[in-house]
Amino acid sequence: MRTTTIIASPRSPNKETGPAAATPLDLFILADYHLAALLLLIAAILKLREAGVGELLAALHEQGMLNLEMVILLARWLPRLEILLGLWAVSGIHLEISATAMGALYLLFTVAILTASGGHLLLPLDCGCFGKSESWPALLLALRNTALALPLFFAKKRHRQWSILRLRHFSR
């Protein structure tokens, strides 16, 4: 006779392992995590397709926050960093570390947007997130990035079991 041991999340209401053991808060954190990763990948691909310096980097350069060399460096290498971070996040490897890195990057973007707007939160600004697109008020861009970033800091090691690529193991 075989004995089966079930290991569950400490917050699991039904004491099962796998995707069914996730609480609503876990699902919210995971949805935010995967949305943030997907947005990084999409933004990076669009930036690579439409190479150039966005309105955000240009505004930071005009304010003297970034020199020309830094603007060129960011325009060239930021999309590649976003792709690496997005792929790392989608892989689910060390999910809590990649979530913290993504959260920090989104908050850095928020600070850059607020700095470029010069405190004028209703000033339309094209952040350059998705290549050349419509300008949105800086307040909306800052709120979007903050709303994406904050839940990422609550991702823990136990969330690894529910990452997209790891769910394949439960379907067998």
Give the amino acid at 140. L
Going from the C-alpha of 17 to that of each of 8, 92, 167, the distances in angstroms are 5, 17, 12
Examine residue 169 and state whether it is found in any structural domain, yes or no: no
pLDDT one digit per residue (tens) for the chain, 172 residues: 555 444 444 554 444 454 557 789 988 999 999 999 999 999 899 888 887 777 788 888 898 888 999 988 888 899 999 999 999 998 888 889 999 999 999 999 999 989 888 888 887 887 777 766 677 888 998 999 999 999 999 988 887 777 766 655 444 4
Examine residue 3 and state whether it is found in any structural domain, yes or no: no
Examine residue 145 and state whether it is found in any structural domain, yes or no: yes
Examine residue 143 and state whether it is found in any structural domain, yes or no: yes
Total of domains in the chain: 1
> What pLDDT does residue 170 have?
44
Examine residue 13 and state whether it is found in any structural domain, yes or no: no
User: Does pTM surpass 0.75?
Assistant: yes
Examine residue 5 and state whether it is found in any structural domain, yes or no: no
Give one DSSP letter per residue of 40-78, joined into a string.
Answer: HHHHHHHHHHS-S--HHHHHHHHTTSS-HHHHHHHHHHH
Cα–Cα distance for residue pair 48/129, rounded to 1 Å: 11
3-class secondary-structure state, position 137? strand
Q: Which domain holds residue 70?
A: 26-155
Structure-token pair, residue 157: 């090691």
Using alpha carbons, select from 85, 95, 99, 97 the residue that is nearest to residue 161: 95
Cα–Cα distance for residue pair 79/41, rounded to 1 Å: 8
Cα–Cα distance for residue pair 111/168, rounded to 1 Å: 38
> What pLDDT does residue 157 have?
81
> What pLDDT does residue 5 have?
47
Examine residue 162 and state whether it is found in any structural domain, yes or no: no
Is residue 55 within 8 Å of residue 134, measured between CB atoms? no
> What pLDDT does residue 158 have?
80
